Structure 1
Amino acid sequence: MSHITIYHNPKCGTSRNTLALIRDNGFEPQVIEYLKTPPTRAELMALLHDMGLGVRDILREKEAVYSELGLANSAWSDDQLLDALEQHPILMQRPIVRSAMGVRLCRPAERVLDILPPTQKPANT
């Protein structure tokens, strides 16, 4: 069985749909509810690196705290943005999925299909 991890928010429809797609393809992922168990700074940096994205690429601009903190201001450094993500994990786009085939921000949910291993269908007997 391939190891798959989803950084999940159960209140998010896209996150729920992504989790359902993973399960519909025969995998039971490790589910990390990142609002309860936020990724560490090192984990965030590794996810960003593996996705080929910058910190701003995973910020949820529609969250109230985004405006409250003034994150639209381009003067914020990556380190400062990572600090904000650590303090306010709601700012992180979701879901992010890691598998042996890569890491993706799965918006839309179907993007997860690019990184799911081929499924083994039972032979008809």
Structure 2
Amino acid sequence: MKTTIWHNPNCGTSRKTLAILQETPGIEVQVVEYLQTPPSAEKLAQLYRDAGISPQQGLRMRGTDAAERGLPDADDATVLVAMVAEPILIERPLVETEKGVRLCRPQEKVYEIL
């Protein structure tokens, strides 16, 4: 099964999720370090839609100025534009498989789409 993880190697949860994917037989993993290669606003919108969450629910609050900028209460388009401009605002890791998308916090959520 082809799988894509939007990964931050400095994040423990992201590293643990990647390890689960790499250790699962039959999984072909594409790793996208989203801080260097951020997804487009369109791709983010699709990922959140497929995960059943809003862009606001995909905001990284800890270690960012998202709250000060009012992003948790902003409209979807504003949040997505901010995430593309500053990918540190994207909560991680996002994992996409043919079975769906999950924001894998905690990392065990990845099993829902394997």
Q: Give the structure-2-normalised TM-score.
A: 0.92
User: 1:88 Cα deviation (Å)?
Assistant: 0.8
**Counterparts of 1:14-25 in structure 2 under 5 Å?**
14-25=13-24
Q: Give the structure-1-normalised TM-score.
A: 0.84
- For structure 1, list consecutive stretches of 5 or more residues without a partner in the other structure: 117-125
Aligned-residue Cα RMSD (Å) equals 1.3
Query: What is the CA–CA distance in structure 1 between the aligned matches of 2:96 and 2:71, rounded to whole Å?
Result: 27
Show CA shifts across 1:10-32 (max 9, x none): 00000000000011112230000
Query: What is the CA–CA distance in structure 2 between the aligned matches of 1:71 and 1:20, rounded to whole Å?
Result: 31
Which structure carries more strand by proportion?
2
Partner of 1:64: 64
Partner of 1:35: 35
Query: What is the CA–CA distance in structure 2 between the aligned matches of 1:71 and 1:51, rounded to whole Å?
Result: 20
- Say how many residue pairs are matched: 113
User: 1:63 Cα deviation (Å)?
Assistant: 2.5
Q: 1:104 pairs with 70, 85, 102, which one?
A: 102
Residue 31 of structure 2 aligns to a residue in which SS?
Answer: strand
Percentage identity across aligned positions? 45
User: 1:67 Cα deviation (Å)?
Assistant: 4.2
Amino acid at match of 2:13: T
